[in-house]
Amino acid sequence: MSSKPYEIIERPPSVLEHKTLWEAVGWGKVNIEMTEQSIANSLYCLVAISDGNIIGMGRIVGDGAMYYYIQDVAVLPEYQNMGIGKQIIEKLLNYIKDSCSGAGFVGLFASHGKNEFYEKFGFQDHSPGMTGMFLVVDK
């Protein structure tokens, strides 16, 4: 684990930075063309930088009014458990709170084994009354 200083900056990750983090945390391969457009259509993005290199990211997608979806929260494995992910989530949630004029719905999908991390911020599993579902359309 590194103890190097880092900063969290309000900006989108580059496509290469996104790819680097995506693959480092084991999410598979990235479609660069889709990633570029997806990042460009984000409502809000953050990156964590240490020594000039990206070590973490997070972003929000949605309609900017009622529905927000926290996406791509990732921290390089060697920088995990240092509070970086916590700071990213807190800043993302603050953006949402500042943007909502009423009740907002905030969703996310957690990686396997990360539910407890997100529960600290108030996220809950609402099954069986409500379940999260998704469909992957692959061409």
The CATH code belonging to domain 7-119 is 3.40.630.30
* pLDDT given at position 91: 97
What are the structural domain ranges in the chain? 7-119
Whether the per-residue pLDDT at 4 is higher than 90: the answer is no
For the chain, how many residues are written? 139
Active site residue 68: no
Quick one: angle between helices 32-40 and 15-24, nearest 10?
110
pLDDT digit string (tens) for 22-73? 999 999 998 889 999 999 999 999 999 999 999 999 999 999 988 999 999 9
pLDDT digit string (tens) for 59-95? 999 999 889 999 999 999 999 999 999 999 999 999 9
pLDDT digit string (tens) for 101-110? 777 888 888 7
Question: Would you place residue 2 in the very low, low, confident or very high pLDDT band (cuts 50, 70, 90)?
Answer: very low
Q: Which of the residues 6, 44, 79, 118 is marked catalytic? A: 118
